[in-house]
Structure 1
Amino acid sequence: MSIEILTLLFFGSLLFFLLLGLPLAFVLGGVSVVFLYFTWGFGSFFMVVSQIWGTMGSFTLVAIPLFVFMAMILERTGVAKDLYRMMHLWFGGVRGGLALGTLAICAVFAAMVGISGAAVVAMGTIALPSMLERGYDRKMALGVINTGGGWGILIPPSILMILYALITGVSVGQMFAAGILPGVLLMVLTFIYIIVRATLQPHLAPALPKEDRGTWPEKLRALRAVLLPIGVVVMVLGSIIGGITTPTEAAAMGVLGALISAAVYGEFKWSVMQEAAIRTFKITGMIMWILFAAHAFSAAYQSMGAQELIEGMMQHIPGGPWGIIIAMMVIIFFLAMVLDPVGIMLITLPVFMPIVEKLGFDPIWFGILFVINMEIGYKTPPFGFNLFYLKGVVPPGITMKDIYTSVIPFVLIEILAIAIIMIFPEIATWLPDQFF
């Protein structure tokens, strides 16, 4: 059988079983094992086992359950509520101020937890009712929460970046450093959009009346709310940048910060720790199975010779190397609408990374473009996770159509950010070069 037909059958089988709704890990692993057996025989399984054994010995893997556990604990503390009260007092007096404050809180949450859903649920519960009560346009409010919640996978620490590093072999620390400036860029672009829109259309995001803005003593007292979050961020990112810990060890520092936060807010209870631990076990177990499947997929893909076929096909894309990178971004963008980010990583990275490196592009830079695309996927219909997280906490009068349409301008902003980082790659590469 020719390599073209074999490759078509391989990817066609993957797509067919995924569309049936079967779990990603078992589809990816099962189809790969079947094709390995019929391509190379029973002996090919030893190659998969050898790769899995090597991965399981990776010290980097320890960071995943630690960062997940940290996120689970921080979700249960009162950090988000106090932060919103502080932002409400300081930003509420300007047009679009509550939206800007909500985005700032999302950025702080992103720098603490490393996952997407935590900030969406927290701000959907706390900030959304507040904005709607004060006359904010519902689509503006929904879009702000949706986009800010997605920053958790770009602004370090990020579990998705750890997985990217594991699959591609790049440094976790470099990926974390590379995510800082693109995260700032996205914040600035989104802030500019909110300010311009609120200035041109004041009814969409009105300023708070004077009686709701708080006095200066209230504002100064409210600043205490940022002390714990800043402490957690410094414990995680500060220890990495300062060379005190590795990214994996910094995850343990983050757990310590989360436990201190829980104690300060009176949530250091057995029930909270038990629930956080069980949820951590479930998420970590899912990730481990997906990593096993990824190794089987990578082995099958390479053993069939499909890599050479895909590389040959890519050479026919117009525009040279940049045309190929843009084509990859478009493919990832559309995959992100229907698949979860980890699945996209496992399917595309073994295919794309050899091509990216062969064309001479920096894998760290490509990783940031990839992660921003995954971030877009979290909020784009029909299956963006943040859309459903938000639907679970919004008031009854808000429909799924409202949530879907609210993300359009914010998706365009993130596409603009990707274009800027492609034109100026130093935005993603400068900090890693300085720190490492």
Structure 2
Amino acid sequence: MIAIYLFLAVCLLLMFGFPVAFTLAGTALAFATFGIYMGWFDPGYIQALPERIFGVMNNETLVAVPLFILMGVLLEKSRVAERLLNNMAQLMGNVPGGLGISVVLVGMLLAASTGIVGATVVTMGLISLPSMLKNQYSPSLATGTICATGTLGQIIPPSIALVLLGDILSSAYNQAQLAQGVFNPKTLSIGELFVGAIVPGLMLVTGYIAYIILHTWKSPNAVTTETVEGQSIWQLLAGLLPPIFLIVLVLGSIVSGAATPTEAAGVGAFGALGLALLSKQMTLQAMHDSFTTTLKVTSMVFMILIGAAVFSLVFRGFGGDELVQQAFEHLPGGKYGALFVVMLLIFLLGFILDFIEITFVVVPIVGPILLMMDIDPIWLGIMIALNLQTSFLTPPFGFALFYLRGVAPPDIATRQIYRGVLPFIGIQLLVLLLLVMFPQLVTWLPGQLMG
């Protein structure tokens, strides 16, 4: 029961807005101190903490995190999104819903090149929201499209969320092996997660575009007013080809086995710096801001990771993992019943917690148990990533909603933003259901390209 109280205390403190890393570590250490004093907790778990933290510091896979963050920040500073959106909108011409389709397509490219949800939502909000409103898109459709498109960076590779999930699921897989009396340590391939996310990511993009077409079909006035010019096509190619080449270079090197995700992240960061310099938008101040932003975000992620290591050790020390395992074993439906409960828990926690908090608090607890039920780790990782994506959209605390609210015109009500994202949440849940019914949508491509 103390393990349950620990989990509830952490969730409650996070809801009050306390810093994630210090909440995880501080609450866990407070419970451990009380448990040691009462004789309920083995101090050996605390003695194992330095080794766990050193393991985080010595993990080469996690080096990809700051490099992918730097890659995204550099491309944001070089105004790639603005050039892409302007040229794509001109190319679509007077196609009904053309501007909305352009926003989705550009958001997909930004997701694959930057992967930073906040930057994508803010950038698209500043650039495309005024144009969509001017072209008679309803505020709900415009804001919902921008918020949903901005979250594609969670699932479309190279995704920081997939890198973190891959590392956590690797530890969960090894714990599951040890619990079953098998010691075959294995690192879950980040490349396989990236490849497995391609089809679900394209399904989301297709679903978003289909919804926009159906919605604007009923409102034929919601079109772009720009006309197609021969020069616009060349401008589009000039703005489109460099980031696409960078994406292909990064993902292609991982899929082909020519580079590890960490090495590919280094290539991507270097290529992004080159594109930023060629765009002539990268001043010394902008470069300083890019490195500073990368340092802050990376420090936040790794502090949370260390805090989560403390929390998971204390939770296990109080027998929390055994309690969860017993609860799952008594659920009807076997592994699918357990998976449904976990997916529902992650979805509900997404209303109040950030994806990083859910990743570092929930996944280490439930991951080993699900993997012991013979669930494919690649499929499980993509399922969790897609579910976590909804945490950016679910009211009232979806971060994408806050990002857009900060740059949206004052005459757009918050309730209109909330109403606008509901259909896109439905599309995400539909794709999630399809992945449950047809796991091959995730597992087939990694088996063909990396099997």
Superposition TM-score tier, normalisation by shorter sequence: over 0.9
Inter-partner Cα distance in structure 1 for 2:112 and 2:244: 9
Task: Give 1:245-284 correspondences, 5 Å limit.
Answer: 245-284=259-298
SS of residue in 2 equivalent to 1:407: helix
Q: Give the CA deviation at 1:217.
A: 4.4
Q: Which portions of structure 1, spanning 4 or more consecutive aligned residues, are displaced by more than 6 angstroms? A: none
Residues 1:190 and 2:208 are matched in the alignment: yes
SS in 2 for 1:272: helix
Question: Does residue 358 of structure 1 match 2:372?
Answer: yes
* 1:208 counterpart = 2:209: no
Distance in 1 (alpha carbons) for counterparts of 2:10 and 2:390: 23
Tell me the residue number matched to 1:90.
91
For structure 1, which segment, 342-351 or 30-39, has the greater mean C-alpha deviation from structure 2 after superposition? 30-39
Task: Specify whether residues 312 and 228 from structure 1 end up closer, same or farther in structure 2 by C-alpha distance, changes over 3 A only.
Answer: same
Distance 1:395 1:159 in 2: 30
Does the 8 A contact of 2:93 with 2:228 survive in 1? no
Give the whole-Å Cα distance in 2 for the aligned partners of 1:190 and 1:240. Answer: 28
Output the TM-score relative to the length of structure 2.
0.91
Matching of residue 22 in structure 1 with residue 40 in structure 2: no
Residue 239 of structure 1: CA displacement? 1.6
SS in 2 for 1:32: helix
Q: How does 1:25-104 map to 2 (within 5 A)?
A: 25-37=21-33, 38=36, 39-104=40-105
* Cα distance between partner residues in 1 of 2:357 and 2:114: 21
Residue equivalent to 1:8 = 4
In structure 2, what is the Cα distance between the partners aligned to 1:41 and 1:208? 65
State the 1:395 CA deviation: 1.5
Superposed, 1:407-422 pairs within 5 Å as: 407-422=421-436
Paired residues of 2:89 and 2:224 also in contact (CA < 8 A): no
In the other structure, the counterpart of 1:178 is: 196
Q: Quick check: 1:336 aligned with 2:350?
A: yes
Q: Residue 146 of structure 1 contacts residue 379 of structure 1 at CA under 8 Å; is this kept in 2? A: yes
**2: CA distance, partners of 1:163 / 1:217:** 42
1:314-351 C-alpha deviation (Å, 9 max, x unpaired) = 23333332122112111101101100111111221122
**Of the candidates 219, 222, 231, which is equivalent to residue 245 of structure 2?**
231
Shift of 1:165: 1.4
Q: CA deviation at 1:280?
A: 1.0
What is the Cα deviation at residue 262 of structure 1? Answer: 1.0
User: What is the match of residue 298 of structure 1?
Assistant: 312
Aligned residue type for 1:167 = I
Q: In structure 2, what is the equivalent of residue 380 of structure 1?
A: 394
Give the conservation status (yes or no) of the 8 Å contact 1:36–1:44: no
Partners of 1:265 and 1:245 in 2: how far apart? 27
Alpha-carbon distance in 2 for matches of 1:289, 1:64: 13
| Alignment deviations for residues 340-366 of structure 1 (CA, whole Å, 9 cap, x no partner) | 111111221122112211221112111
Amino acid at match of 1:190: Y
Letter of the 2:256 partner, please give it: G
Does the C-alpha gap of structure 1 residues 197 and 286 become closer, same or farther in structure 2, counting only changes over 3 Å?
Answer: same
Q: Does 1:429 align with 2:443?
A: yes
Structure 1 residue 18: deviation in Å? Answer: 2.4
CA shift, 1:41, in A, is 4.7
In the TM superposition, residue 242 of structure 1 has moved relative to its aligned partner by: 2.5
Deviations 1:368-426 (A, max 9, x none): 11111111110111111111111111122112111111101010000000000111111
Kindly provide the CA deviation profile for residues 113-135 of structure 1, in whole angstroms up to 9, marking residues without a partner as x.
Answer: 12212221111111111111111
Report if the CA contact (8 A) 2:15-2:353 is conserved: no
Q: CA deviation at 1:220?
A: 4.1
Could you tell me the TM-score, scaled by structure 1's length?
Answer: 0.94
Question: 2:185 is matched with which residue?
Answer: none
5+ residue gaps, structure 2: 171-187
Match for 2:152: what amino acid? W
Q: Please tell me the residue identity of whatever aligns with 1:199.
A: W
Q: Give percent identity, aligned residues only.
A: 37
Correspondence for 1:150:
151
Structure 1, unaligned runs of 5 or more: none
SS of 1:396's equivalent in the other structure is coil
Equivalent pair of 2:125/2:407 in contact (CA under 8 Å):
yes
RMSD: 1.6
Match of 1:110 in 2: 111
